[in-house]
Chain A
Amino acid sequence: MTDRKKDTELLIEPHGKLIYLNLGEIWRYKDLLEMYIKRDIVTFYKQTILGPIWFFIQPIFTTIVFMFVFGGLAKIPTDGIPQPLFYLAGITLWNYFSESLTKTSDTFLTNQAIFGKVYFPRLIAPLSVTITGLIKMMIQFLVFVIVYIYFVAKGTHVGLNIYALLFPVLIFILASLTLGFGIIISSLTTKYRDLKFLITFAIQLWMYATPVIYPLSVMSGSKKYMWLIQANPLTSVMETFKYGFLGQGTFSWLALGYSFLFSVIILLVGIIIFNRVERSFMDVI
């Protein structure tokens, strides 16, 4: 009896450890995580007639707009890849990143009512947003696959190759980056919210520094911006995806390794900062 009690002994102190990631505790709350994800997915299409079909319609509309604006008006080349495929590939990955980042960076603000009433591992909230985003991305990926099959059936040459198997790695990098950056931003905006105003703007700019609407090869001419685009951890994710599935683009293990390392470091830094803030952010938010 005393042993069992020792197990559940809880110590509440002003300062915690630097890196405190109680995975066991998060695991104990996995049902809550599941409920959060379910809530976000289900409430997304509540009171709509088309229901979950909206998940498909969004990327299709964006693709059509991109085809018109960037492909038609601005005439940005797509490296010989059919435009719908090229834009869908970019949108699928980019939408996941930008949507989840915007949402996780608001973690403390949107959840302050519930965080102020009850304790559960705070990481559950941003984690659920990241996973919800992943599920949405997989649905959009399905759209990509359907369009892909259509082009293959039509006889268009799409260079699917072995590098497409790196897809899970790309997802891991994207997820760690969104979660890492998201919790860093949300932690930094609890007391002083100045940063919040920059985020939307920064994400917009970031898209242009990422080969979403243009292939990396277009930029290879301009030395001025190339370093910036190559320093961007998302660049190799985009390029690897396009290289693996569409056979066009630039692929290098070095660039991918850099992105991988970058994402892991960001995630760790994020967890450290988040842990410092989550314990007492209620006082200042």
Chain B
Amino acid sequence: MSDFAIKFEDISKQYQLGSIGTGTLSHDLKRWWTIHVRGQEDPYLKIGQVNEQSDKSSDGIVWALRDINLEVKDGEVLGIIGKNGAGKSTLLKILSRVTTPTTGRITARGRIASLLEVGTGFHPEMTGRENIFMNGSIMGMTKTEIRSKFDEIVDFAGVAKYIDTPVKRYWLLMRYLLWVTPSSRKKRSVKCRMSVSPAEEQYYLSVII
């Protein structure tokens, strides 16, 4: 048995173009009819289409990912690069179970933690302290885990003075700091980070400097 941490097998993801409304209902009904009543294959799962952003789509669907096969070994760090709309985020969204693949499967060993975008899970009315706990638990940390790291987080973010003030009164960078610290203080076997936003980049740069 090979010693992989994550294995992608024939992962594909299909999205529907355009907006959802009365029009998509007939689309849905047709799909349901063909699969469940006539017992045929999904009429929209056509093979051999090219995903080209500049082309006009004829059937209103797009393949964000097509037959992705890859393996990441234990301890390996993998970076995925590609132009806008290449499917990097989609891949990570499937891996972090935000959405499901259309076909294929992923086997992962260990727990998966995704580093969120800044501010997700922050409640503006809650204090810094409450938000640290909230954010930590959204990412799967237990209360005891957070409590044991609490001082470290507050120290690192340098917000001791403001910790009992609602986060909505914080200035931008302080929110970033408070957000980014718990996530980087966490131990997980599989980590995936969605994308580096400019603000985050700046933060990491400033830490390095």
Give the distance to chain A from B9, nearest Cβ to Cβ, in Å: 10
When distances are taken between beta carbons in the complex, the residues of chain A under 8 Å from B139 are 118
* A43 on interface, CB distance cutoff 8 Å: yes
Looking at B97, B107, B117, B137, the one whose CB has the most chain A CB atoms below 10 A away is B137
A10 adjacent to B103 (CB under 8 Å): no
Bound state CA distance, A280 and B194, in angstroms? Answer: 18
Known: A31-B137, A282-B98, A282-B99. A9 touches B121 (CB 8 A): no
When distances are taken between beta carbons in the complex, the residues of chain B under 8 Å from A50 are none
A12 adjacent to B138 (CB under 8 Å): no
* A202 on interface, CB distance cutoff 8 Å: no
When distances are taken between beta carbons in the complex, the residues of chain B under 8 Å from A254 are none
A118 adjacent to B133 (CB under 8 Å): no
In the complex, the chain A residue whose C-beta lies closest to that of B107 is A11
* B140 on interface, CB distance cutoff 8 Å: yes
B107 adjacent to A32 (CB under 8 Å): no
When distances are taken between beta carbons in the complex, the residues of chain A under 8 Å from B142 are 31
* A227 on interface, CB distance cutoff 8 Å: no
Q: Which of B25, B98, B108, B143 contacts A118 (CB 8 A)?
A: B98
Q: Which of B16, B100, B109 contacts A5 (CB 8 A)?
A: B109
B residues 97-131 with Cβ under 8 Å of A? Answer: 97-112, 114, 116-117, 120-121, 123, 125-126, 130
Known: A114-B121, A283-B15. A42 touches B98 (CB 8 A): no
B130 adjacent to A119 (CB under 8 Å): no
Give the distance to chain A from B104, nearest Cβ to Cβ, in Å: 8
Looking at A9, A14, A46, A192, the one whose CB has the most chain B CB atoms below 10 A away is A14
B114 adjacent to A119 (CB under 8 Å): yes
Known: A42-B126, A114-B120. A14 touches B100 (CB 8 A): yes
A8 adjacent to B111 (CB under 8 Å): yes
A119 adjacent to B96 (CB under 8 Å): yes
In the complex, the chain B residue whose C-beta lies closest to that of A283 is B99
When distances are taken between beta carbons in the complex, the residues of chain A under 8 Å from B87 are none
Q: Which of A46, A116, A279, A282 contacts B166 (CB 8 A)?
A: A46
B98 adjacent to A35 (CB under 8 Å): no
* B209 on interface, CB distance cutoff 8 Å: no
Q: Which of B99, B101, B126 contacts A39 (CB 8 A)?
A: B126
Number of A-B contacts (CB under 8 A): 114
When distances are taken between beta carbons in the complex, the residues of chain A under 8 Å from B121 are 114, 117-118
Give the distance to chain B from A120, nearest Cβ to Cβ, in Å: 6
Looking at A12, A35, A43, A46, the one whose CB has the most chain B CB atoms below 10 A away is A12
B25 adjacent to A192 (CB under 8 Å): yes
* B134 on interface, CB distance cutoff 8 Å: yes
Give the distance to chain B from A150, nearest Cβ to Cβ, in Å: 35
* A113 on interface, CB distance cutoff 8 Å: yes
In the complex, the chain A residue whose C-beta lies closest to that of B121 is A114
When distances are taken between beta carbons in the complex, the residues of chain A under 8 Å from B123 are 39, 43
B120 adjacent to A12 (CB under 8 Å): no
A8 adjacent to B140 (CB under 8 Å): no
Give the distance to chain B from A172, nearest Cβ to Cβ, in Å: 27
Known: A120-B140, A192-B20. A43 touches B126 (CB 8 A): yes
* B186 on interface, CB distance cutoff 8 Å: no
B109 adjacent to A9 (CB under 8 Å): yes
B102 adjacent to A9 (CB under 8 Å): no
Known: A46-B125, A280-B99. A12 touches B105 (CB 8 A): yes
Bound state CA distance, A283 and B102, in angstroms? Answer: 11
B residues with CB within 8 A of A: 15-16, 20, 24-25, 28, 93-112, 114, 116-117, 120-121, 123, 125-126, 130, 133-134, 137-143, 166, 189, 194
Besides the contacts A11-B105, A12-B100, A118-B139, what 7 more A-B pairs have beta carbons closer than 8 Å? A11-B106, A12-B107, A28-B140, A35-B137, A114-B120, A116-B93, A118-B121
22 A-B pairs whose Cβ atoms sit less than 8 Å apart in the complex: A9-B107, A10-B108, A12-B95, A12-B101, A12-B108, A13-B106, A14-B100, A14-B101, A14-B103, A31-B141, A35-B133, A35-B137, A43-B123, A114-B120, A117-B98, A118-B114, A118-B139, A119-B96, A119-B98, A120-B140, A280-B100, A282-B93
